[in-house]
Structure 1
Amino acid sequence: MADLLIRNARLVNEGREFEADLLVARGRIDKIAASIEGVRAKVEIDAQGQWLVPGMIDDQVHFREPGAEHKGNIASESRAAVAGGITSFMDMPNTDPPTLTTAALADKKRRAAASSQANYGFHFGVSRDNLDTIAALDPREVAGVKVFMGASTGNMLVDDPQVLERLFIYCPTILLAHCEHTPSILANETLWRERHGEFIPAAAHPLIRDADACYRSSSLAVDMARRFGTRLHVLHLTTARELALFAPGPVHNKHITAEVCVHHLLFDDSDYAQLGHLIKCNPAIKTRADRDALRQALAGDVIDVIGTDHAPHTLEEKRRVYGRAPSGLPLVQHALPAALELVGEGVLSLTQVVDKTSHAVARLFAIRERGFLREGYWADLALVERLAQPRQVADDPILARCGWTPFQHRHLRHVVRTTVVSGQLAWHQGQVQPRCQGLPLMFDR
């Protein structure tokens, strides 16, 4: 008996939309056909024409474990993720302790194996004194290597030119960069403090962490990658100016790639008036013109993938004055429906969203047998319904531990009805399925 049979779905995969049934057995896609008859399955779902897409692969999350479990942990945030159509995630290294050693990496993998409802991978961090460890890494053991080129992350801030040069030369796998120029940011913040003291308005955030601070750092990263042949992936672009650093084209032909996050595609600086520090993030949400340029770059294959940078904080923390209110937003629960807003607005086609959230991510990180609806591949699936009327996000129970979402005042046109992780029901009929256990991502490198 097969595990799962989904009938009457509209599959979206590799540039095509087509009607088909899909059969899952032993965790994998066993068969895709116009009609699958004479087969019994433990669970059968009549999709009634809903879209069946490969689950979103989120290349950038902060699930806060270990060290900040009051904000979230792997169990709570992976539950929120599967409710949002995310079937796999890659977690960032700035935890406590940070993922700067192979022992810390192994600890995170053990934690995820015990509690994650989604498939998981982990990025390795860079400090000023762990370059020998990075050079010796097995590329198959990490999702990528993450460098903070000018973000306030303690000993993970790497801005020494000699350290950066060694990193770009000897990094054995894909290097992910958070690009902001710290001296510029500090100078801007000093000016605002002289005028407002501790009570800097939230709307000043994109003026403090401005386009120049982003460009000075991202242009340095791209220049170094070109000089040393580094496989570079620049995270969460936020400005029109930075787009000139990247070339259009399919992701598998590129040596330097870029990501944009859902909040930078849906919000702009006019939203600070209503949401304040709830949308304070690094790099900052900037102007409507920047947002529109990011959308166009995504449609034109200048930007390669959509991520979330899910980074939960408690409401109490977010209500503090500017200098003490932390940066970061909880996003995974509404990630795929939020990305699909770009389809409703005519910015992207449905097949483009699937490419940017699944296919391109799998190709970019060389993830084995995931990210596509293909027979023999792992069954990581999301069944999505386009609603006759947009729904209010405020009506949703929030599964992230922090208990809030920046989308609370928004209406979304799509909802995830079912999520399947490695062949297991993870989210179905509005409920997390507690027996689902994600698997480690494998990388063909």
Structure 2
Amino acid sequence: MGDLMLCDLLIAGGTVVNETGRFRADVAVKDGFIVFVGHPDFAPPATCTLDATGNYVIPGAIDVHTHIREPGMTQKEDWTTGTRAAAAGGVTTIFDMPNTDPPVWSLEAFALKREAAERQAHVNFGLYGLLDERSLDALPALAEAGVIGFKLFLGNTTGNLPAPNDGAVLEGFEILAELGLRCSIHAENSPMLFWRENRMKAAGRDDAFAHLAARADIVALESLNRSIVLSEWTGARIHIVHESCMRSIPVIRDAKARGVPMTVETGPQYFLLAAEDLTGDKARIARLNPPIREGAQRQPIFQALVDGTIDMLGTDHAPHAMAEKQHASFWDNACGFPGVETSMRLMLTQVHQGRMTMEHYVRMASAAPARAFGLYPRKGVIQPGADGDIAVVDPGREGTIRGADLQSLRSRFTPYEGMETVGAPIATIVRGRIVMEGGTVLDAPGWGRMERPQMPKPEPRNLATTTKAILRPDAQSW
């Protein structure tokens, strides 16, 4: 073979696993793309060969829900530490939420974050724009600039962005329905949770379970139903983030059956951890929004993820400075913890235990996120023509999760402290470049590329009654 056929990387001897099945094959990458998947006898030569004998070769994970914290909150995390954590965890693309400082509600704020990311990122990234009352006029421009989608906070979170008025949400959905981009929704009812939280504070409740009590299932259920109604009316594509309630599952199933254009994610914390086990320091570390619920909810959530009712796995990677988790009052402790680095190990352990298959994992961690956000089949599958975003996984690699080992250098704590895992990524490849090998993250600042979605044709509904339509004097809305 001539020099034209010389590839940059050959992954040899492994078993390729896509969502549809597995097969023995070598995989070659050239100029950032997979150019060969096939029998070793026909594999092209390459300048670099990675031995994957006995291991799985899977599409790199796509984490649609991370908080990198830069700009404005770099005491918690920045684009270097956050994307090194992703690389360590077999994650080749992350989507960063817009509740930074400033929030991504303007082209200027978007440009500020993009510059920081492009300078430091070790893995690919998508940037969310913010949907709120102040950003409605900027939504089309942000879409044109290349946001991966938009984020709507119906419940409060880090940054304390106020939940928008429902009228503004409706108008925002009308705009997004015409743009075709997906809106990720933090579905908790903000007035309910604040009312309940303030009532408990006044009554002197400051215990580990007070946060869960403020955000009882009804707070999420009401917001989920409202989001579905608005999506169904407008045609806006929505994505429910960090689903935590088993009572949501029939609601989601029914909405999807009616054709509501929605997808849903959950995270490992909602089916591996239980509120009743979290007291003292553990409770402070594991405080997040929505809260980890009682243990009885774990299996229904896990089953819904495996059967596809819940489409995908996210992490809500939410690092904080350690001091922000050590306040005397439970209410004063920051919500969230790192997750992007540990997720694959936790899920491979579920595979090892026989609770799910590798094919299930590839669907929920890579293929489904790529489909939902307009990146498939460029990502989410090992096949010729796809991006060379790959994780090599050792299914038998044993380990113990330790916060002290995390790449999120300012946020070295985890609610999974001491948990034993079986299965781990041993190489992470981003567009053909090895960014992690043997557990060691290699220096690759700026290698990560911003990903733009290519969504299906928009399908807006009820156009005669949109806010834009009724502002015209000749509008007829009957």
Aligned twin of 2:217: 211
State how 1:21-40 maps to structure 2 within 5 Å. Answer: 21-36=26-41, 39-40=44-45
Instruction: Choose the corresponding residue for 2:150, options 145, 151, 157.
Output: 145
The whole-number CA distance in structure 1 between the counterparts of 2:161 and 2:204 is 30
Aligned twin of 1:303: 310
Are the counterparts in 2 of residues 86 and 335 from structure 1 also a CA contact under 8 Å? no
What code does the residue aligned with 1:163 have? A
In angstroms, what is the RMSD of aligned CA positions?
2.1
The whole-number CA distance in structure 1 between the counterparts of 2:351 and 2:404 is 22
Aligned twin of 1:260: 266
The whole-number CA distance in structure 1 between the counterparts of 2:143 and 2:400 is 45
State how 1:41-440 maps to structure 2 within 5 Å. Answer: 41-138=46-143, 141-152=146-157, 156-171=161-176, 172=179, 173-196=181-204, 200-247=206-253, 255-273=261-279, 275-320=282-327, 321-367=329-375, 369-387=378-396, 390-394=398-402, 397-401=405-409, 402-435=411-444, 437-440=447-450
1:442 counterpart SS class:
coil
Q: Which runs of 5+ in 1 are unaligned?
A: none
Deviations 1:99-153 (A, max 9, x none): 0001111221121111100001100002222211114443671111111012256
The whole-number CA distance in structure 1 between the counterparts of 2:265 and 2:63 is 11
**Displacement of 1:161:** 2.0
1:361 counterpart SS class:
helix
**Displacement of 1:224:** 1.1
Q: TM-score, normalised by structure 1?
A: 0.94
From the superposition, tell whether residues 249 and 343 of structure 1 become closer, same or farther in structure 2 (CA, over 3 Å): farther
Deviations 1:422-441 (A, max 9, x none): 11001002211113611121
**Displacement of 1:308:** 0.7
Deviations 1:43-79 (A, max 9, x none): 2122121011100001010000000111110111100
**Displacement of 1:267:** 1.1
From the superposition, tell whether residues 377 and 249 of structure 1 become closer, same or farther in structure 2 (CA, over 3 Å): farther
Point out the structure with max Rg over C-alpha.
2
Deviations 1:388-422 (A, max 9, x none): 6x421128721112222222221111111000011
2:28 counterpart SS class:
strand
2:25 counterpart SS class:
strand
Are the counterparts in 1 of residues 157 and 289 from structure 2 also a CA contact under 8 Å? no
Give the total of aligned pairs: 441
The whole-number CA distance in structure 1 between the counterparts of 2:94 and 2:208 is 30
Are the counterparts in 2 of residues 85 and 335 from structure 1 also a CA contact under 8 Å? no
The whole-number CA distance in structure 2 between the counterparts of 1:361 and 1:139 is 21
From the superposition, tell whether residues 126 and 407 of structure 1 become closer, same or farther in structure 2 (CA, over 3 Å): same
**Displacement of 1:273:** 2.5
The whole-number CA distance in structure 1 between the counterparts of 2:254 and 2:50 is 39
2:362 counterpart SS class:
helix
1:66 counterpart SS class:
coil
Are the counterparts in 1 of residues 157 and 335 from structure 2 also a CA contact under 8 Å? no
What code does the residue aligned with 1:131 have? L
What code does the residue aligned with 1:213 have? V
The whole-number CA distance in structure 2 between the counterparts of 1:154 and 1:413 is 36
Give the fraction of aligned pairs with identical amino acids, expressed as a percent: 28
Q: Which runs of 5+ in 2 are unaligned?
A: 1-5, 456-478
The whole-number CA distance in structure 1 between the counterparts of 2:135 and 2:129 is 11
**Higher mean C-alpha displacement, 90-99 vs 31-40:** 31-40
1:138 counterpart SS class:
helix
**Displacement of 1:317:** 0.9
The whole-number CA distance in structure 2 between the counterparts of 1:394 and 1:282 is 23
1:120 counterpart SS class:
strand
The whole-number CA distance in structure 1 between the counterparts of 2:140 and 2:448 is 29
